[in-house]
Structure 1
Amino acid sequence: MENLTVRTPLKQPIVFELEGFYVPPGYGPLFFFLALLTYIVTLLGNGVVMWVIVTDKNLHTPMFVMVCNLVVCDLLGATVVLPRIMMHFLMGQKAIAYIPAIAQAFCAHSYGAAIQTILAVMAYDRYIAVCEPLRYHSIMTSARLHCCCGLAWSISVLLMLILFTFHINVPLCGRTIQHVYCTNRSILNLGCVSTPISNIYGLTTTWSLNTGVFLVIALSYIKILSACLKQGRSDSSVRSKAFQTCATHLVIYVLFVIALVINIMLYRFPSVSRNIQKFFGILIFVLPPLANPFIYGIVTKDLRNSVKKRFAARIHHKH
């Protein structure tokens, strides 16, 4: 007779345990310091970018309003994982209650979706700025700008809200989440029953969103490249300025895609150390938020000059 394993649903209140990193004895404080330093630099970098854009009226343009939305998204991504990882390194805390686990997973997925939709909106904005420069201000009005930004966030949040409705009434039989942070799939894997509809919806949403964003960005930049080559024949400064304006956005998108691909690919190789898999699993929440402010500061001349003026004025005022 076939042996059947009966899984007993967990009793309320549900408390999960994150598998976390394997930390060699005595190395916890060092890893905590590195995570804390990364988080502080991320907060300071994104905070400076937001502060400069908000306080400098010359930067109150559609492009920099979208940069502010990207900053908010970056701060969300870093805050989703780094504080809890720091607690894990410093105090060995792995327990997480059901509601915080769902909240962390929801925010993590919302960050991944929102950063892509915001980058797609930014690509559309750059397309209009380069290909329709004379009509730019009539097309990208304040109302349309806020509509585009609101749509980018709304699509992301709505898709994730639907995804997380599959958690309702799913009995859970396991406690250990095999990662350093909670995800939709890691929680549903602990269910007493399979959730094929959630799997289908999750895969369909992921594929559709990634493909849609890629097509929007690819088509926008094909148009931009074509316009730059045509305009550049008569005015090389036009081509140079257009490439400089678009380079920042493209670098940030490529950086996000690289982090995403590395994360996906490493889990396809069981021989890779679990610690390495987990490290690259959080890279998508750490690398873009950490690097984006510096990329904007280096590449975007207007933002770089504004930062210099703000800090120079403060230093002069103190003296």
Structure 2
Amino acid sequence: MINSTQVSYFILSAYFDTGVFKYVFFMIVMFLYMLIVGSNLLLIVVICMNRSLHEPMYLFLCRLFVNELFGSAGLFPFLLLQILSDIHTVSAPLCFLQIYCVHCYAGVEYFNLAVMSYDRYLAICYPLQYNTRMTNNKIATLIALTWFFPCFAMVVLLSMTSPLQLCGNTIYKVYCDTHSVVKLFCSDIKAINVYGLIATFTTIFGPLTLILYSYVRIFRVCFSGCKQTRQKAVSTCTPHLASLLHFSVGGCFEILQSRFNMNTLPNVLRIFLSLYFLTCPPLFKPCTVWPESVQNTCHI
């Protein structure tokens, strides 16, 4: 057995030799990263510079775009270096740092989508009381909570895994993730599994429960309201639901990739499925969650 303190690097075995085409892949990934950074950063600047957009809905949107930049920064620079490298290894500290960034990004995303659904629930179900219910202090508290719990949960998880023993250092992915590293542990991991289930339930099913409750109330108001109310609810909620579905599908791909044997699938397809929730949502979300009226104004 290899003690975890003796492991100085991990081997990423999902990469394959692409020859001279690695430079083509590098340019494609670089273009996608620049597009993600440019589109999300542009919308953050628009919100910050336009005082008419300093409202709760846009503040939560801004928070969503910031998280996309955070998640992308945890993957793309690392991915670009690995594409050009002939030896696909990563140091243990950098591997755990990437695990922290990737899983914090996923947790914060769900929490922020839940907060946005709650905001729209108040706006549609209690329009006259919206300003008194969604105060500045409440907005600041909600934003702080979306950051605090996922990041704190990952700090606890990484502190639990650091003293454990490893039986190997080969990860069958193109980046580091918790499940791939946990499978390398030789010692008893019951405590980690229990904590992981609790953290996953709280991070995923907790926000999904709030989202479900919010939309049940929203749909109830829509069915009992006039045509104008239904149209407003549809135009307000459809982009948010599309974003939630997009991210959830990507998350399901990652769970299936990690928990089940996918060796029968082509290697390229497995890589795409594992990268989907880290690349596609940050790329398309600026177009799907941004209100249509502002899209037309900004020509985005």
Aligned partners of 1:124 and 1:303: how far apart in 2? 21
Task: From the CA coordinates, give the structure whose radius of gyration is larger.
Answer: 1
The yes-or-no answer on 1:250 pairing with 2:244 is no
Partner residue, 1:172: 166
Following superposition, the deviation at residue 239 of structure 1 comes to: 2.1
Of 281, 288, 297, the residue aligned with 2:281 is 288
- Give the alignment's Cα RMSD to 1 decimal: 1.9
Q: Which residue of 2 aligns with 1:303?
A: 294
Seen in structure 2, the aligned counterparts of structure 1 residues 95 and 164 have a Cα distance that, compared at 3 Å, is same
- Following TM superposition, by how much is the alpha carbon of 1:48 offset from its aligned partner in structure 2, in angstroms? 1.1
Q: Hey, what does 1:62 align to over in structure 2? A: 56
Give unmatched runs, 5+ long, in structure 1.
1-6, 312-319
Q: Distance in 2 between matches of 1:177 and 1:22?
A: 14
After superposition, give the CA deviation of every residue in 1:271-306 in whole Å (9 maximum; x if it has no partner): 223432222111110011001012134xx1342244
The one of 230, 247, 253 equivalent to 1:239 is: 230
Q: Distance in 2 between matches of 1:53 and 1:264?
A: 34
CA contact (8 A) 2:4 2:163 kept: no
Q: SS of the residue aligned with 2:289?
A: helix
Provide the C-alpha distance between the structure 1 equivalents of 2:217 and 2:86, rounded to a whole number of angstroms. 52
1:271 aligns with 2:264: yes
Distance 1:68 1:199 in 2: 34
| Residues 222-277 of structure 1: CA deviation (Å, up to 9, x unaligned) | 11111122222xxx223212211111111100101111122333553442234322
The answer to whether residue 174 in structure 2 is matched with residue 183 in structure 1 is no
Quick one: distance in 2 between partners of 1:105 and 1:216? Answer: 26
Q: Is the 8 Å Cα contact of residues 16 and 97 (structure 1) preserved in structure 2? A: yes
Q: Whole-Å Cα distance in 2 between the matches of residues 88 and 277 of structure 1?
A: 17
Given the alignment, which residue of 184, 202, 208 partners 1:214? Answer: 208
Q: Which amino acid aligns with 1:75?
A: L
Is 1:157 the counterpart of 2:162? The answer is no
- Segments of 5+ residues of structure 2 without an aligned counterpart are none
Q: Contact 1:39–1:78 at 8 Å: present in 2 too?
A: yes
Distance 2:219 2:255 in 1: 30
The separation in 2 between residues aligned to 1:113 and 1:95, in whole angstroms, is 26
Q: Counterpart of 1:26 in 2: which secondary structure?
A: helix
Paired residue secondary structure (2:176)? coil
Distance in 2 (CA, whole Å) between partners of 1:202 and 1:260 is 16
Identity of aligned residues (%): 27
What CA deviation, in whole Å up to 9, does each residue of 1:94-150 have, x standing for no partner?
222121111110111111111000100111000000000000000000110110111
Shift of 1:154: 1.0
CA shift for structure 1 position 181? 0.9
From 47, 64, 86, give the equivalent of 2:41: 47
1:85 aligns with 2:79: yes
Q: Does the 8 Å contact 1:296/1:303 carry over to 2?
A: no
The one-letter code of the counterpart of 1:154 is F
Compared with structure 1, are the counterparts of its residues 205 and 11 closer, same or farther at alpha carbon in structure 2 (3 Å cutoff)? closer
Tell me the amino acid that sits aligned with residue 241 of structure 2.
L
TM-superposed CA distance for 1:50, in Å, is 0.5
- Larger CA deviation: 10-19 vs 214-223: 10-19
Rounded to whole Å, the distance in 2 between the matches of 1:181 and 1:266 is 13
SS at match of 2:75: helix
Alpha-carbon distance between aligned partners in 2 of 1:11 and 1:120, rounded to the nearest angstrom: 39
Change in Cα spacing, 1:195 to 1:13, as seen in structure 2 (3 Å) is closer
Corresponding position of 1:21: 15
Q: Is the 8 A contact 1:52 1:306 kept in 2?
A: no
Code of the aligned partner of 1:263: E
* Cα distance in 2, alignment partners of residues 296 and 10 from structure 1: 42
